[in-house]
Amino acid sequence: MRKKIVAGNWKLNKTFSEGILLAKEVGELSKNEINSDVQLVLCTPYIHLQQVSDIVSDFKNLSVGAQNCSNKASGAFTGEVSVDMLKSIHVEYVILGHSERREYFLETNNMLKEKTDLVLSRSMTPIFCCGETLSQREANIHFSFVTQQLTESLFHLDADTIKKVVIAYEPIWAIGTGVTASTAQAQEMHLLIRNHLATKYGQDVANSISILYGGSAKPSNAKELFACPDVDGGLIGGASLVARDFVDIAKSF
């Protein structure tokens, strides 16, 4: 059975003390309210990771994730954070290829292939983001665009390895805009992604990979999104900054 995952992407938000408080609040709420088969992941800024890593160890449904990592293993790359550094403080997940990193920091499919390999090589789980712009959707090239992102960054992996990747479909037009993809749009793309995986790796492998939806998910719409047969959870931005909202989303399966 596929893992159900709700990951919070805090982005560039929360001072250190605010972040620690949020992680503790999420932990306390999750203890009594979250089904044991749902995994919550707190993807925090780098400076929070070590402390949040300690906090989540007290809660069985909770894990910690980074929002990025370097595509270099080590060396003279000022300002970068390596997979070994993340691993050394017990980080379990790493978001890769968020559209904001692709757009503002010019991350390419090839760079993301390198990052994916590094994350997997340290036995951490990549949450690999893909998704189209509004103009690509309007031009009806959204399917080919998303499948190209997956093919170029992930399809060099063998079948056993790609099973360790979590995919997040995040239509860029829905991120932080308050506009959510309809359940039909989300399900259609998630099924397409799963079929694309099946073409290369077979249906069993495709069926084992969790595909999360991201883009203005909130407590009021999470239930209908998570009810889609190919939606296995969510990558949550804005609503992950409020413990009550984040946990309510995770209760929506």
Binding residues vs ligand PEP (CB under 6 A) = 9, 170, 175-176, 214-217, 235-239
Residue 213 C-beta-side C-alpha neighbours within 13 Å? 33
> Which ranges of the chain does DSSP label H, i.e. alpha helix?
16-33, 49-56, 83-88, 99-104, 109-121, 134-138, 142-154, 159-162, 183-201, 203-208, 219-226, 243-250
Annotation marks residue 25 as catalytic: no
Q: Give me the catalytic one of 98, 142, 190, 196.
A: 98
Annotation marks residue 92 as catalytic: no
Q: Kindly state the smallest distance separating residue 214's Cβ from ligand PEP, in Å.
A: 3
- Collapsing DSSP to helix, strand or coil, 176 comes out as coil
Joined tokens for residue 90: 């017990």
The residue (of 125 and 201) whose beta carbon lies closer to ligand PEP is 125
Amino acid at 239: A
Q: Kindly state the smallest distance separating residue 26's Cβ from ligand PEP, in Å.
A: 16
Q: Give me the catalytic one of 142, 170, 190, 196.
A: 170
**CA proximity to 45, closest of 78, 81, 99:** 81
The residue (of 57 and 177) whose beta carbon lies closer to ligand PEP is 177
Q: Kindly state the smallest distance separating residue 175's Cβ from ligand PEP, in Å.
A: 4
The residue (of 92 and 170) whose beta carbon lies closer to ligand PEP is 170
Residue 58 phi/psi, 5-degree rounding, is: -85, -5
Q: How far apart are CA 228 and CA 162, in angstroms?
A: 23
The residue (of 201 and 213) whose beta carbon lies closer to ligand PEP is 213
Q: Kindly state the smallest distance separating residue 117's Cβ from ligand PEP, in Å.
A: 22
Q: Which residue is nearest to ligand PEP (CB)?
A: 237
Q: Which residues are catalytic, by number?
A: 98, 170
